Every structure is written in C-alpha cells, then in structure tokens.
Amino acid sequence: MTAHFNEMYQNGAVRAPYARLEGWTKAMPAELRHLKQAEAEALFRRIGITFAVYGEGGDPDRLIPFDMFPRVFTAQEWARLERGIKQRARALNAFLVDVYGRGEIVRSGRIPARLVYQNDAYEKAVVGFVPPKGVYSHIVGIDLVRTGPEDFFVLEDNCRTPSGVSYMLENREIMMRMFPDLFRENRIEPVDRYPEILRRTLASVAPQKCRHDPVVVILTPGHFNSAYYEHSFLADMMGVELVEGQDLFVQGEYVYMRTTEGPKRVDVIYRRIDDAFIDPLCFRPDSMLGIPGLMDVYRSGGVSICSAPGAGVADDKAVYTYVPEMIRFYLGEEPLLMNVPTWKCAEADDLAYVLDKLGDLVVKEVHGSGGYGMLIGPTSSAAEIETFRGRILADPGNYIAQPTLALSTTPTFVEQGIAPRHVDLRPYCLVGERIELVPGGLTRVALKEGSLVVNSSQGGGVKDTWVLAE
Amino acid sequence: MLSRTAANLYWIARYMERAETAARLLEVGARISLLPSAQGYRNEWDSLLLAAGSSIGFRAKYGEAVPRNIESWLFFDRDNPSSVAASITSARENGRIVRTALTSQVWDALNGAFQDLRDLERQPRSGLELSRITEWTMRQCAMMRGAIDATLLRNDGYNFLNLGYYLERGDSTARLMDVKYYVLLPKIEYVGTGYDNYQWTTLLRALSSHRAFHWAYGGEVTASKIAHFLILNPQCPRSLITCVAGMNNHLGRLAKLYGQPTDLQARVAALQSQIEGLNEDMIFEEGLHEFLSRFIIETADLAAMVHETYLSGDMR
C-alpha cells in the first residue's frame, strides 16, 4: 500500500495552511456538525443548486454532497500552480490555432498527423478560420491531482465547456454564511470576481463585425440538462440572457434572439452544448438544440462562439500526452506542471507493457469522461481485468493507461467524525484578451473510504477550496 | 427580455391563479353540497366539474361524481392539467427555467409551495380536511403575490406576470359565477328564493368577498347586486372589470416601455369601455350565462393575441 500524502497532517504535525482549522474542528461537537450539515443542505436546496438526474427514477433534483471541511493552499503553492495552469492554457490555444492552420507541430513530427486530423473532435468545418484574438478555448478547466508537498500532476485538460464553476462560487458563499469566524481568522483570497472576469473575457473576443458593446448570451440545452442550474447561475451573475436554441435564429449575416421587443442581435455565444448539436445544417441534422445557419455566420465573422467549434481536439486523452511537447514547441518553455506518465495502447511497446501490468494500472478510454468506461486495476477483480483486457485488444487505439497515483487526501467529515479522503482540483482558467485565473477552484472528494473516483455521478462530493493570502 | 422568459413569467402567474381557482371551486362545491337540495349532492358537484371545464376528463377516469374523487381530481390529480398539484408543479417548473428573472423571495414562495405540496401528497388522504388543503392553496398563492409585489422590479417581467394573473383571474371569476348557471338550470323557480341566495352567498365566500360585499352593498343578497359586484364594480379585486382594467394597465405599461402600441391593447381597452357601459339589468337581459360565455371566449382570444404579440419574438 502506497503512503498517501495527507494535506493537513504530516509526520504527526499540522501543516501550516491548515493550522487554524484544527482548533475549529476540535471546538465543533458532533451535534453542531450535524446541524451545520443540515443547514448547508437546506441552503443548497433553497438556492436550487441541484444537479438534475432525469430518467433514473428517484428524486430528480439531487444535491451533490457538500463537505464542510475546506481544502487549503498557501499563497506560494498557488502561485506555482497558477503559472503552470496559465502556461498550459496558452499552449493548448496555440496548438488549436496551429492545427486548424498550417499544422507546424505535425509537420515538425512532434505529434502524429492521424492523432490530430483523424480525431473525431477535429472539425473540418473550421479549418483555416482563426477565431477572434486567436482563442479557441476560453474557459480551460485543468484537472489536477497531488501526490506530495511539491508534486502536482495534470490528470486531464477540459477545453470545451468544463462545468462545476458554480459549485466553486456557491460552496464559498455557503461557507461564508455558515462560518463567518473562519473567514475572519484566516485570510482567504476571494473568488467572487469570476463571473465579472468571465464576462469581460467573453466580451473581449467579440467578432470583428461587432462595432458596439457586445451582446453576450449563454446557450443552454435547456432546463432538463443536469448542469442547467450552473447555466442560469452564470447568466444571472454576469447579467446576460440565458438562451436555448429555439430563442436564436439566423437572418442575413447575423444571429438574433427572439425578444418581447422583436429580434435583437447577439455577438458572443458562450455555448454549453456540444459541437455536434450547435448547427443542424453543419453538424448533426437531427439536433433540436442548435441554430440552423449558425456556423455560416460564425465563419464570416458575424458571431463568436465560446469555446470555438473544434476546441475539443486539444483535450482528447491521446493528445494529452503531447501537451508538454506543445509547451516546448509553441512557448519555448519547460512545462511547469507534470503530466501523469501515460502509456498509449496504440503503440505496440506500450500496449505490451499495459497488458502485462493491467492489475497495477488505471486504463481509460481516449474519449471517455465522467469516470465511466475505465478500469482501476488494483481495485478490480481478476474477472473484471480479463474482460477489460478483451476490450483493449479489440481496439487498442481507444485506450491509454496510467499508473495508479497516490492521490493526496484532506480531512473530510464522515459519519464517524473526521477521516482522510482523496481529492482532486479543477481550477478554471479564462482566456481572452488576457489570461486570468481566480485563486481557487473546485475540489472534488471521493467520499467512499479508499475510493479514488471523485466524479459526482459516482459518489463524489465537493469542498470549498481556499487560497490563503500572503 | 427574451420572449421565452416573458412566456415563462406569464405562465407562472396563470398557473398559480389556476391553482387558486381549483381550490376555490372545491370550496364552492363543498359549501353548496352542505345544503339539502332536491337533487342531493351529485348535481352540485357535477356543475362544479362543468364550470372547471374538466367534466369529460373526470368522467373518463372516475365515472360517477363522488365527492372524494372530485377532491382528488381537482387537487391532487396530475391527469387533470388544471388541478392544484398540476398547476403548482407547472408554475414551479416555469419558475425554475427563469429562476434568474425572479427574486429569491419569489422563488422561495414558489419552490416552498412545491415542496409543501410534495409533503401533502405523501400524507394519507383520510387525514386531510378539504378546508385545510383549500386554505393551504390560497395561502401559497397569496404568499407568491405578496413576494411579487414586495420584491420584484417593476420591469417588463413584472408586467408579464401581472398580465397573466389578470387574464387568468378574469376567466376564473367568470367560470365560478357560471357554476350558478349549471346549479340553477334544472329548477328556474329557485331564482330569488332563500336557496338561491344561499348559493350566491357561498359563491361570495369562495371568492373571499363575503364581507367586502356586505360593506359595499348592505342588506339583502340578490343576484343583481352580486352580478354588479363581481362583474361591474371596480372596487372588487376579482371583478371582471378589475381584471380587464388590470390587463389594460399592464399592456399600456409594456407599450410605453417598448415604445410600441399594439392591437392587443386596443382590443382590451375596447373591452374595458364596453363593460364600463353596462349595467346589471343589461347583463341579465342578455342572460348571465350568455354574457359569461362571451367573456370566456373573448379571454381566450386575448390570450392568443398575447402570444402572437409578445411571446413569439417574430418580426412585427
């Protein structure tokens, strides 16, 4: 059994960032803790922060379990992460502009052509088009894990429409409401500027043809979507309209929304629906969520779409392995954040190694997400491993493998009191005219003892994430 | 404002008012049926379903009009799109979609009603007094109105909410009055008797206007005084004239806000001056039922025009 790095206790002593939290937990009897937990839940319900799960029976409005024990970073730790995250966001965007343009990185032989050009996420419809300010991915969610005091690894990049930022903001609001003393005692960097920065970022990539103060909207698949709360929350915080496909239409060279005063022009669309659905004339013809003709307007500079169609090719799990190479190639810098060592089953040597060590590795589908379609070797039965072996052999190119990381833990409230549970971190980097990052992110926690899966769809919870001021 | 947002707001109001109407109908029915009559309770409850416009749906599901089934149908049954439960659920779903156009007080009132409703649905029916659930409904509707009036910006969304309220309420008052027509239809000789007056009083009670009526008119309760009160008196908060004037007011505010006069408002203004020119004798001359039917049809036409004018977002 590997020793897991505990972010609060090290060699029996409390690490500095958590110093003031020990007294706080000690002073909280079990009854008070239960009371507070119930209060937090009631607050979440009242605000309406649920993630709707339809079609599975049970309560359609479920709460993501919220753990009141905060996760803390020092200013120094964060400064390092911030540099690494921004570096990565720059490189990913440079890569996107390149592969839809001249493809220098492929020509130079640093990344295989088929991985890019035959990727399902590569949009031929936008080849040769450079979005405003050369930005494809405006909100880059980078999933990080920690294995030691100085060791952070990037687990994956999310360049399309990473979700969860509303939890970052609401977790903080609720913590401040319930434990104001904690915020007086600790100097915690605020995160509440996020919506303002997001709006500025979106406005900064208005299309060339827009000569006025840009009209920004958020495009949602609708109120049945599990992240609908987040869409409406962000629209509200930014003061922009939350639209569905049916609210927009194309006329001439522009996109308009249907309003009570008649049609109104839209300049920037922050879409929370996939490429495949945004325009039935260009992509899936059966999409009821999109706007016919949108891509024509987009390519002629009449509207901006965030993230830009085609951005998905950069966050593919097979492309992920080349991100350090991108950083060197485009920025001439050494990567500040490490990738998790990854074996590509598409390559014969790697495949042989993976099949040999299947019981020790984590194997993921290249295009999978949400913790589905993966094998965690050490916690799987022999039969499960054999079944998975068959699947890998049938389509090796669809899989990558990584060592099981010794994910760090933070103290978490559990039934019996406080116990260490594994966590990860998703900060949200905003890319427009400038690159910005609010000090914080979403910490997801695997609530089951020993579990390494933090996804909310599989029993994960969330925590408030603090960055201490210097 | 997005047309769809306006539509959601307008329908929140219509559904909440509709929930209240269902509860008021239940109350009228319960009170009328306490009075011994030649036909027994059945006739009264039947008339209630006719007025609710859901007689066919009820019969298809339950057959005989047994009070318990009617209670279920008008309060809990989601197969009845106008039941209290269905209306509150629809109002809340519309609210969830436009959560950002509501203040947290309005959302709390709406969501609170929905959460309470789910609790009510889990309780055994035998333990639920009819008066408790009708009062509960009216209280929820009142809290919602209060939250809207106390906290919402007086912007276009506020006007669309109120437009929905007045339109639905006018329709509801007309339908509730029309119950009388169905109840009295078989025995025209009841008109003007004590039985007749008792029913009118019951109707007033159901509209929470019993005391107000006595303050305003005094003396004997007569059909003509009540028709005046519920149709022509601008002091009565639920009278047809109040509702039409309310629609006119909010349509006027929208037209001014958008700098765009509409045919819709012209038509509502015409309806208002037409009703203002009436007296109760003229109404009874036409026939109360005929007059009310005409009003209900006019309301449906106005609703269609509201959609066309503001909720479709097309080029005008």
Same domain, yes or no: A353 and A320: no
- For the segment A236-292, what is each residue's pLDDT rounded down to a tens digit? 899 999 999 999 999 999 999 999 998 999 999 999 999 989 998 888 888 888 999
pLDDT at position A369 is 58
Same domain, yes or no: A96 and A37: yes
Find the CATH number of the domain harbouring A373.
Answer: 3.30.1490.270
* B50-63 average pLDDT score: 81
Token pair 């009565």 is at which residue? B236
Q: Is A133 left (phi over 0), alpha (psi -120 to 50) or beta?
A: left
Domain limits of chain B?
3-311
B2 Cβ under 8 Å from any chain A Cβ: yes
pTM: 0.85
Beta-carbon separation of A48 and B310 below 8 A = no
* A173-182 average pLDDT score: 92
**Residue B234 structure tokens:** 């601008």
pLDDT at position B181 is 66
Residue A4 lies in a domain: no
* CA atoms of A198 and A434, how far apart (whole Å): 11
Same domain, yes or no: A22 and A43: yes
- Residue A400's closest CA among A341, A349, A344? A344
Report the relative pairing of strands A399-403 and A375-376 from DSSP bridges: unpaired
For residue B100, give how far its alpha carbon lies from the nearest alpha carbon of chain A (Å).
6
For residue B71, give how far its alpha carbon lies from the nearest alpha carbon of chain A (Å).
26
**Residue B249 structure tokens:** 């007011």
- Residue A266's closest CA among A215, A208, A199, A209? A215
Same domain, yes or no: A331 and A374: no
| CA dihedral for B118, B124, B127, B130, sign (positive or negative) | positive
Residue A146 lies in a domain: yes
* A160-178 average pLDDT score: 93
* CA atoms of A262 and A266, how far apart (whole Å): 13
Locate all alpha helices (DSSP H) within A407-460, ordered by sequence. Answer: none
Angle at which helices A228-238 and A165-178 cross, to 10°: 70
Half-sphere exposure of A460 (CA within 13 A, CB side): 22
Query: Among residues 24-53 of chain B, which lie with CB inside 8 Å of chain A?
Result: none
Beta-carbon separation of B2 and A247 below 8 A = yes
Q: Is B70 left (phi over 0), alpha (psi -120 to 50) or beta?
A: alpha
For residue A52, give how far its alpha carbon lies from the nearest alpha carbon of chain B (Å).
12
* A104-133 average pLDDT score: 94
* B274-302 average pLDDT score: 93
- Residue B284's closest CA among B181, B155, B159? B181
On whether the CB atoms of residues B206 and B183 are closer than 8 A, the answer is no
- Residue A219's closest CA among A257, A255, A245, A254? A245
Q: What is the ipTM of this complex?
A: 0.79
Residue A440 lies in a domain: yes
Same domain, yes or no: A330 and A350: no
Size of interface A-B (CB pairs under 8 A): 60
- For the segment A333-392, what is each residue's pLDDT rounded down to a tens digit? 999 999 999 998 988 999 999 999 999 998 988 876 555 678 888 888 999 999 999 999
Residue A3 lies in a domain: no
User: Measured between beta carbons, which residues in chain B are less than 8 angstroms from residue A244?
Assistant: 4
- Mutating which of A254, A255, A260, A264 best tests the B interface, going by the most B Cβ atoms within 10 A? A260
pLDDT of residue A30 exceeding 70, the answer is: yes
Radius of gyration in angstroms for the set of CA atoms belonging to chain B, rounded to a whole number: 19
For residue B294, give how far its alpha carbon lies from the nearest alpha carbon of chain A (Å).
29
pLDDT at position A55 is 45
- For the segment B150-162, what is each residue's pLDDT rounded down to a tens digit? 999 999 999 999 9
Indicate the residue among A403, A418, A452 that finishes a domain.
Answer: A403
CA B117 to chain centre: 20
Residue A2 lies in a domain: no
Same domain, yes or no: A399 and A410: no
Same domain, yes or no: A71 and A128: yes
* B264-268 average pLDDT score: 97
pLDDT at position A373 is 74
Same domain, yes or no: A204 and A138: yes
pLDDT at position B38 is 46
The 3-state DSSP class for residue A257 equals strand
Beta-carbon separation of B3 and A232 below 8 A = no
B258 Cβ under 8 Å from any chain A Cβ: yes
* B290-314 average pLDDT score: 93
pLDDT at position A229 is 87
Residue A349 lies in a domain: yes
pLDDT at position B234 is 95
Instruction: Provide the pLDDT confidence category of residue A49 given band limits of 50, 70 and 90.
Output: low
Range(s) of the domain holding residue A42: 9-336+406-467
Beta-carbon separation of B100 and A243 below 8 A = no
pLDDT of residue A408 exceeding 50, the answer is: yes
- What share of chain A in percent tops pLDDT 90? 68
Cβ neighbors of B54 (< 8 A, separation 6 or more) are B73, B80, B82
Q: Which residue has the higher pLDDT, A61 or A382?
A: A382
- Identify the weakest region by mean pLDDT among A375-379, A398-402, B10-14, B139-143: A375-379
Radius of gyration in angstroms for the set of CA atoms belonging to chain A, rounded to a whole number: 23
Residue A168 lies in a domain: yes
**CA angle in degrees (0–180, nearest 5) for A435-A271-B310:** 130
Beta-carbon separation of B100 and A247 below 8 A = no
* CA atoms of A279 and A125, how far apart (whole Å): 11
| Count of the separate structural domains present in chain A | 2
Same domain, yes or no: A392 and A410: no
- Residue B14's closest CA among B131, B94, B97? B94
pLDDT at position A368 is 62
Instruction: Provide the pLDDT confidence category of residue A56 given band limits of 50, 70 and 90.
Output: very low
**Least CB–CB distance from B100: residue in A236, A257, A259:** A236
Angle at which helices B130-151 and B84-97 cross, to 10°: 20
Same domain, yes or no: A398 and A414: no
Same domain, yes or no: A248 and A125: yes
Q: Give the chain B residue whose CA is nearest to the CA of A224.
A: B97
Beta-carbon separation of B312 and A257 below 8 A = no
pLDDT of residue B273 exceeding 90, the answer is: yes
**Least CB–CB distance from A242: residue in B100, B111, B254:** B100
Same domain, yes or no: A79 and A213: yes
Q: Which residues pair with A145 in a beta bridge?
A: A153
pLDDT of residue A24 exceeding 50, the answer is: yes
Residue A185 lies in a domain: yes
- Mutating which of B100, B102, B121 best tests the A interface, going by the most A Cβ atoms within 10 A? B100
Half-sphere exposure of A249 (CA within 13 A, CB side): 13
pLDDT of residue A54 exceeding 50, the answer is: no
B256 Cβ under 8 Å from any chain A Cβ: no
- What share of chain A in percent tops pLDDT 70? 95
pLDDT at position A51 is 58
**Residue A297 structure tokens:** 């307007």
The count of residues in chain A is 470
Instruction: Provide the pLDDT confidence category of residue A61 given band limits of 50, 70 and 90.
Output: low
pLDDT of residue A446 exceeding 60, the answer is: yes
- For the segment A447-456, what is each residue's pLDDT rounded down to a tens digit? 988 888 787 7
